[in-house]
Amino acid sequence: MSALCLIPDAQFEGPADVEASVAGERLEFAVARAGSLLSFDRAVLDRAEACALWQQAEVDGAVLDRMPNCRIIARCGTGFDRIDLSEAGRRGIPVCNVPDYGTCEVADHAMAMALALIRGLNVYDRNIRAERIQGWNYALAPLVSRTRKRLFAVVGLGRIGTAVARRAKAFDYDVAFFDPYVCDGMDIALGIERVNSLEALAERAEILSIHTPLRQETHHLVGADLMARMKASAIIVNTARGPCLDVDTALDFLANGRIGGLALDVLEAEPPQSASTMARALVSDDPRLRDRLLVSPHAAFYSPDARFEMRARAIETILAYLTDGSLRNCVNREFLVGGVQ
């Protein structure tokens, strides 16, 4: 009998055709879009041996109590902040992610958002559409600047942060990074500067691009204290996880001229709730918000190729473990109990 894999928060239309093409007869799939594993009935939960999760589903002890035969959890993506890693590990369940499927897409998106602001593309396009003659004015964009020898600051030098650093160098930025977990010598290998203090990096940054995972220590990593150190012209780019940036505070700093611009692909609540500070900012006529705020709908990861790879690699990870016990990109190895390697 094929093992059952649950997909509780699928963000694709129709059946799990990509997943089935990878698994063949080795897996069968139960697909839902309710966003919760508990949307499946008891018999399905009881039988399931694997889960492939997108962005919404949460996994904690109460959920795992309902899934006595679960052997592996795979994230279709990079973030795993909605999964209780220690609880899964205590039960001998590895949690794995797919960290490399969209590296190029996210890096391209981060650079595109930064460049759109410093070249005024959002402002020019909106003004020309609104008023063909009056809008034909290169002076309308407030953040236009030269890239050459300006400091592009990368916070987190993992796969994506490294890819962004390489792209920023290609645009002739001076590039510096902060990442206490990166081994010595990466600055030399990449030809960029290592800064040992996030505060010191923020003080110098023209553009500050966030590329950290979301953990307890990175929640609001970029907050009021750090933003207070930044130049009034500085642009913050976040394509990592929404809560890595204190968004409400960032909007307040932007509205009051204490930072220059915001480019956000991720928010603390997605999509923004109608009464939220972000929702109000998106419809504001205040030029400091209208012309200096750029938002995309958690789309940095996306291209058809990346989406296919993400889905396929999550299933390959599940199959590898169910077949021979091998683990790919396990993110809770430190918590695993029961002899899992």
**pLDDT for the residue numbered 42:** 97
CATH of the domain at 284: 3.40.50.720
Query: Would residue 341 count as lying in a domain?
Result: no
Residue 226 has pLDDT above 60, yes or no: yes
Identify whether residues 150 and 171 lie together within a single domain.
yes
Q: How many domains does the chain have?
A: 2
Query: Would residue 21 count as lying in a domain?
Result: yes
Query: Would residue 19 count as lying in a domain?
Result: yes
pLDDT tier at 1 (50, 70, 90 boundaries)? confident
Residue 308 has pLDDT above 70, yes or no: yes
Identify whether residues 210 and 271 lie together within a single domain.
yes
Residue 341 has pLDDT above 70, yes or no: no
Identify whether residues 58 and 116 lie together within a single domain.
no
**pLDDT for the residue numbered 337:** 82
Residue 340 has pLDDT above 60, yes or no: no
- What's the Cα-to-Cα distance from 16 to each of 80, 122, 245, 306, 315, rounded to whole Å? 22, 37, 34, 16, 11
Identify whether residues 183 and 270 lie together within a single domain.
yes
Beta strands in 229-287 (DSSP E): 235-238, 261-264
Query: Would residue 340 count as lying in a domain?
Result: no
**pLDDT for the residue numbered 157:** 98
| Those residues with Cβ within 8 angstroms of residue 172's Cβ, 6 or more apart along the chain or in another chain | 147, 148, 149
Range of the domain at 268: 103-295
Identify whether residues 126 and 168 lie together within a single domain.
yes
Structural element, H or E, at residue 130: helix 121-130
Q: What is the mean pLDDT of the chain?
A: 96
Structural element, H or E, at residue 95: strand 95-96
What is the per-residue pLDDT across 54-67, written as a single tens digit (0 to 9) for each?
A: 989 999 999 999 99
pLDDT tier at 184 (50, 70, 90 boundaries)? very high
* Residue 121 and residue 261 in contact, taking contact as beta carbons nearer than 8 Å: no
Q: In what order do the strands lie in the sheet with 174-178?
A: 193-194, 174-178, 151-155, 207-210, 235-238, 261-264, 293-295
Averaged over 135-150, what is the pLDDT? 97
* Residue 237 and residue 210 in contact, taking contact as beta carbons nearer than 8 Å: yes
**pLDDT for the residue numbered 242:** 97
Residue 205 has pLDDT above 60, yes or no: yes
Structural element, H or E, at residue 178: strand 174-178
Report the Cα 44 to chain-centroid distance in Å.
31
Residue 339 has pLDDT above 90, yes or no: no
Identify whether residues 126 and 74 lie together within a single domain.
no
**pLDDT for the residue numbered 79:** 86
**pLDDT for the residue numbered 183:** 96
Identify whether residues 122 and 35 lie together within a single domain.
no
Identify whether residues 170 and 95 lie together within a single domain.
no
Query: Would residue 32 count as lying in a domain?
Result: yes
Identify whether residues 84 and 140 lie together within a single domain.
no
Return the structure tokens found at 262: 């915001």
Averaged over 83-89, what is the pLDDT? 98
Give percent of the chain above pLDDT 90: 97
Query: Would residue 107 count as lying in a domain?
Result: yes
What is the per-residue pLDDT across 91-102, written as a single tens digit (0 to 9) for each?
A: 999 999 999 899
Q: 3-state SS of 285-325? A: CCHHHHCCEEECCCCCCCCHHHHHHHHHHHHHHHHHHHHHC
Identify whether residues 215 and 291 lie together within a single domain.
yes
Identify whether residues 33 and 87 lie together within a single domain.
yes
**pLDDT for the residue numbered 338:** 64
* Residue 85 and residue 335 in contact, taking contact as beta carbons nearer than 8 Å: yes
Averaged over 132-151, what is the pLDDT? 97
What is the per-residue pLDDT across 158-173, written as a single tens digit (0 to 9) for each?
A: 999 999 999 999 999 9
Averaged over 114-125, what is the pLDDT? 98
What is the per-residue pLDDT across 11-34, written as a single tens digit (0 to 9) for each?
A: 999 999 999 999 999 999 999 999
Active site residues: 241, 270, 298
Instruction: Please count the CA atoms within 13 angstroms of the CA of 122 that sit on its side-chain side.
Output: 21
Identify whether residues 258 and 159 lie together within a single domain.
yes
What is the per-residue pLDDT across 259-288, written as a single tens digit (0 to 9) for each?
A: 999 999 999 999 999 999 999 999 999 999
pTM metric for this prediction: 0.89
